[in-house]
Amino acid sequence: KIQLRLKARKQSATAPNTAALATPLLLALQSEPEPRLRMWRRCNKRGRALSFRRQFSTETTFESLLRDMRERTLTAPNRCPPSLLRTVHERFWKLSEDAEKQQFFVEAVKILGVRRDTLAQAQEVLNNVRFSGAESDALEHLEDVMRLRKEMKPLYEEIFEGIAREIPGGCRSVVQMRGEVLRLAGKLRRAASAQAANSREDILALRALRDLDEGMRQLLCTWFSVGNLDLRRLTYETASGAVLEQIARREAVHPIRTLSELKTRLGPGRRCYAFFHPSMPSDPLAFVHVALVPDIARSMEYINRSTGEEELEGRAQCAIFYSITSALPGLHGVELGNVLIKRVVSLLYSDAPRLETFVTLSPMPGLRHWLETTLENDPESEALKEILQPDDAQQLQSLAGKLGLLGFLDGMGATRSSELLLRILQSLDHTALSEARSGENGLVHATIRPILLRLARMYIMKEKKSGSLRALDPVANFHLRNGALVESINWAADPSLQGWKNSYGLMVNYLYELDGIEGRSHAYSIYGDVTVSSSLEQAA
CB 268 within 8 A of CB 310: yes
In order of 38, 74, 116, 124, 204, the CA distances from 120 in angstroms are 48, 18, 6, 6, 21
- Told to judge if 350 belongs to the known catalytic residues of this protein, a careful annotator would answer no
Helix (H, G, I), strand (E, B) or coil at 320: strand
Catalytic residue among 362, 417, 418, 503: 362
- Told to judge if 445 belongs to the known catalytic residues of this protein, a careful annotator would answer no
CA-CA distance, 458 to 360, in Å (whole number)? 19
In order of 190, 496, 498, 502, 505, the CA distances from 438 in angstroms are 42, 15, 20, 22, 15
Phi, psi of 102 (to 5 degrees): -60, -40
CA-CA distance, 469 to 525, in Å (whole number)? 8
Query: Please, which residues have CB within 8 angstroms of residue 137's CB and are 6 or more apart in sequence?
Result: none
Nearest by Cα to 160 from 204, 226, 112? 112
Query: Please, which residues have CB within 8 angstroms of residue 68's CB and are 6 or more apart in sequence?
Result: 56, 84
CB 493 within 8 A of CB 299: yes
Nearest by Cα to 185 from 204, 211, 209? 209
User: Residue 377's Cα: distance from chain center in Å?
Assistant: 31
If you count them, how many residues does the chain have? Answer: 540
CB 530 within 8 A of CB 511: no
Instruction: Report the b/e string of 96-111 with b at 16+ CB within 10 A.
Output: eeeeebbebbbbbbeb
CB 106 within 8 A of CB 208: yes
Helix (H, G, I), strand (E, B) or coil at 433: helix
Nearest by Cα to 536 from 517, 508, 498? 508
Long-range contacts (CB closer than 8 Å, 24 or more residues apart) made by 68-71: 69/111, 69/112, 69/155, 69/159, 70/111, 70/112, 70/155
Catalytic residue among 173, 479, 488, 503: 479
In order of 219, 247, 382, 451, 539, the CA distances from 536 in angstroms are 42, 34, 22, 15, 5
H or E element, residue 466:
none
Catalytic residues: 362, 479
